[in-house]
Amino acid sequence: MTRKTKSNIEVAFIYLFFVLMAIIIAYPLIWTVGISLNPGTNMYSSQMIPENWSFEHYKWLFTSPDSDYLIWYKNSLVVAVTNSVVSVFLTALIAYAFSRYQFVGRRYGLYAFLLLQMFPALMGMVALYILLNLVGLLDSLYGLVLIYIGGQIPFNAWLVKGYFDTIPRELDEAARIDGAGHFKVFFQIMLPLAKPILAVVALFNFMAPFMDFLLPRIVLSSPEKYTLALGLFNFINQQFSTNFTRFAAGAILIAVPIAVVFLFLQRYLISGLTSGATKG
């Protein structure tokens, strides 16, 4: 077998792998879209896209007086935006401190971040529930945001610290020679240079509240405070309820804000995903 033939076979296998992965990813999405266009309530159909397809379920979500979908959507957006903005700011500050300064407990703090990442959040659900109840933030979007922000700081701080470590310290020193203080160096030099990794953190923190079901299920109990994942669950969980088609329509619309944020940040994402966490 010649080298050229061997190379062509390898390329063919690579393309075959990508085609298979595309089918695996696209099939559930197309199937969900088809269910959302089904005029009835049945999740099964002889065709992936029904012949008598309709947007009635999408219309019901936004116009029916029995639908709280807009309230759930607003709650999810509030939690997602707040979580993303505050997490990026706090993570950048913490990562900057660990990257640029030497202080007592620095090494143990980094070890603590690594240790906290090893345990799933599920282990602390009971403690979080009791804590929120003690401070009066149970059944509150503020309490939910607080847990999201605090829980994601260890991983995000370690990631952003690795990126900050790749930025030459000579830039800091040159700025301080020109009279810049600590905060001026942070805001005018470090943050602009760290846009790629901060965009990654912002996107991940924005997506989390839309995808998470378990934490809102534990924290929230009032229907008017539900997030989308928790609210949509009621479509198929309530007694005698089989609204799989409405559930599918609501689930499809979750992708809209995530896609908008992704398109807005995509110019930073490629470089950000391949950077950070490279130096300890």
Q: Mark whether 150 and 175 lie in a shared domain.
A: yes
CATH number of the domain bearing residue 173: 1.10.3720.10
pLDDT tens for 159-193 read: 899 889 888 888 888 888 888 888 888 888 888 88
CB atoms within 10 A of CB 161: 25
Q: Mark whether 48 and 141 lie in a shared domain.
A: no
Distance of CA 103 to the CA centre of its chain: 32
Q: Mark whether 90 and 201 lie in a shared domain.
A: yes
Q: Is 33 contained in some domain?
A: yes
pLDDT tens for 205-247 read: 999 899 888 899 989 988 889 999 988 887 777 644 667 888 8
Q: Mark whether 112 and 182 lie in a shared domain.
A: yes
Q: What is the DSSP string of 200-267?
A: HHHHHHHHHHHH--HHHHHH---GGG--HHHHHHHHHHSTT---HHHHHHHHHHHHHHHHHHHHHHHH
Q: Mark whether 139 and 163 lie in a shared domain.
A: yes
Q: Mark whether 90 and 17 lie in a shared domain.
A: no
Q: Mark whether 80 and 55 lie in a shared domain.
A: no
Domain count, the chain: 2
Q: Is the pLDDT of residue 272 over 60?
A: no
Q: Mark whether 19 and 53 lie in a shared domain.
A: yes
